Amino acid sequence: MAKAPKKPEEIFSEFTADFQKIFGAHLISISLYGSGAREDYVPGKSDLNFLIILSEEGIGDLKKVHAVLPKWRKRRVAIPLIMTKAFILPSLDSYPIEFLNMKRHYVPVFGEDILKGLTFSKSALRLQAERELKGKILLLRVRYLETEGKEDRIKDLIRESITAFVSIFNALLYLKGMDIPKGRSEVVRAVSGTFSVNAGAFLKCVEIKEERGRASLSEMEKIFENYLGELALLTDRVDRMDV
């Protein structure tokens, strides 16, 4: 039975060979990004995320990928993100946070190092950060109502959402010209100190995400209330931010 690799690099050759067989000369590059490219990769729990760059001709023939996806799902490989070089540069003003976070933690696996030379507009980053914060706060409120006040559902909501917010926090630190720490807790402390919000509200969410500590239903509801309140305060400060 196929298992997740102990180290991501164990599957690089086989993964590359599969996609070379499918796309041949149309395969331009493969990069591993996300937790698999960081020190916090956990075999069997962390997904492996690959960015695959194809030629314009190759991108039109994605149906061939269907044959290999079941094999790689069994080894904790997520559906790869597939695009062309021509798609990336015009997208940096629309999705700067996503590309910034890819560039921060990635490993070139095959072909051209596409991410290395990417640069980001601070005004585009600030605008997306504001938009993402406001949109995710609205969604959090809806999702909280959907929990029906059940402890396990509130906990799952916090676990899912804090990862997305830490990605936005990375962009906020980049905007301030600060070094971005590696760990979630360190990122939270840096953003909280820079934007004068309560680190404790976010650190509790990180503890829940990393399955450290326990909380009763009433404690979980208080954690969520503080979490939402500090996010609203942070969003207001990002809205007023001058870049």
C-alpha to C-alpha distance for 81 and 52, rounded to whole angstroms: 6
C-alpha to C-alpha distance for 48 and 233, rounded to whole angstroms: 34
C-alpha to C-alpha distance for 220 and 146, rounded to whole angstroms: 15
Give the residue from 114, 104, 122, 88 showing the smallest Cα distance to 33. Answer: 104
**What percent of the chain has a predicted confidence (pLDDT) above 90?**
86
C-alpha to C-alpha distance for 204 and 168, rounded to whole angstroms: 18
Look at the block and give the residue holding tokens 């500590």: 213
Strand partners, 27: 54
Question: pLDDT at position 96, please?
Answer: 96
Tokens at residue 118, please?
């990417």
C-alpha to C-alpha distance for 8 and 191, rounded to whole angstroms: 30
DSSP for residue 58:
G
Burial class, 38, CB count within 10 angstroms (exposed 0-12 / middle 13-18 / buried 19+)? middle
Question: pLDDT at position 107, please?
Answer: 96
- Cα atoms in the 13 Å half-sphere on the side-chain side of 31: 23
Q: What is the pLDDT of residues 19-34, one digit of tens each?
A: 999 999 999 999 999 9
Rg (CA), the chain: 19
Look at the block and give the residue holding tokens 């190759």: 58
Is residue 166 pLDDT above 70, yes or no? yes
Q: What is the pLDDT of residues 69-124, one digit of tens each?
A: 999 999 999 999 999 999 999 999 999 999 999 999 999 999 999 999 999 999 99
Burial class, 50, CB count within 10 angstroms (exposed 0-12 / middle 13-18 / buried 19+)? buried
Q: Report helix angle 199-209 to 184-195, nearest 10.
A: 170
Tokens at residue 172, please?
């906020």
Question: pLDDT at position 176, please?
Answer: 95
Give the residue from 239, 211, 129 showing the smallest Cα distance to 175. Answer: 129
C-alpha to C-alpha distance for 138 and 32, rounded to whole angstroms: 32
Is residue 1 pLDDT above 70, yes or no? no
Tokens at residue 217, please?
């239903």
Reported pTM: 0.86
Domains of the chain: 8-111 (3.30.460.10), 122-239 (1.20.120)
Is residue 158 pLDDT above 70, yes or no? yes
Strand partners, 30: 52, 110
Confidence band (pLDDT; 50, 70, 90) for 214?
confident
